[in-house]
Structure 1
């Protein structure tokens, strides 16, 4: 499944966020935000495909928020509020030229989102493939 493979690759890349500590220069900070954004995008697109394959018609619209809500109802993800926070941070990526916003995204990625993605990978491997 190509979307699953893409997600796994982006998650492996995102792990590199732990190789860097503050203070970040602009190039590193931008790259770390990008690693998060790519992993989030691959995650929800993978969820959409898997949900569709399992007959969840709600996922046909393609809205990331609807996909997350459907994934929560289906038991694919456990913490809907964390995923919705991750979506909000993904939406903030367009404002990551603001160092405060970018630092917040990276901090959340390190503290919460990387582990959230790992839990999703484990769930998918255990129950959905």
Structure 2
């Protein structure tokens, strides 16, 4: 199973940590944007955006690690449009505060989790392992 993690640059360490844990469980990272330098030109943005879009298309599930920037929210929209399995992680309850949330966190197909990254990682692996088992039965 392939995954993609969307988040902001300031969460790069957490993205790397989660990614490595998933890789240790034999999941494949479709694209690791944390290896990129910040874009310095429109051409850089185009190249990175194309790679990220392709990674979402090629992934079985997507993780949105909050807080996240506008690019991550566009990636969320792409994943929703493609009907990917989506996991939304928040370290706090802000996703449930009306003045701080967004419409698309609360549509069908977005699996929300609030808590520690460690607990989220365990939750995600359990959900995806259950999905694998269900998929194998078909």
Structure 1-normalised TM-score? 0.31
Structure 2-normalised TM-score? 0.30
| Higher RCO (CA 8 Å, separation ≥ 6 residues) | 1
- Select the structure that is richer in helix: 1
- Select the structure that is richer in strand: 2
